[in-house]
Amino acid sequence: MRDVPPPLVIDEPPRGVRGRTRAWLRGRRFLLAAVLALVEVVAVIVWRPSLLLAAAGAFIVLVLAVALATRIGPGLGRDLLWVVAGAQALVVVVPVVIGTSLFLGIILAAVLILGLVLIAFRMRV
């Protein structure tokens, strides 16, 4: 076998403002989604709406953003919709994870306390 060099790949930057904007947005999609989610969380803390209403609104926006992003063709609008969907996913999922871990922590603490109480009763007898 001969040592064949890999093919030459030329990565040409996108042309035009729209192409550069799309490339910039794709490269920072997760950062922008996290910043948007942080802004939403701060807004909920400051304005104090019903948490159930805020979570329901975030879920509805998540479903709509994903539905629209999968139906439209590639472009700046689709990229923006994926950023919005990512932010809403963070807003919906993070409280659920924290609540679940808090719930599991409470159950674990209750089981531990119950075990200690049973051990204490057994040692007393």
Phi, psi (deg, nearest 5) at residue 72: -95, 160
What percent of the chain lies above the pLDDT cut of 90? Answer: 24
User: What is the structure's pLDDT at 79?
Assistant: 92
What percent of the chain lies above the pLDDT cut of 70? Answer: 98
Mean pLDDT across the chain: 86
- Cα distances from 39 to residues 47, 63, 111, in angstroms, run 12, 20, 38
User: What is the structure's pLDDT at 97?
Assistant: 77
Question: Does the pLDDT of residue 98 top 80, yes or no?
Answer: no
pTM for the full predicted model: 0.70
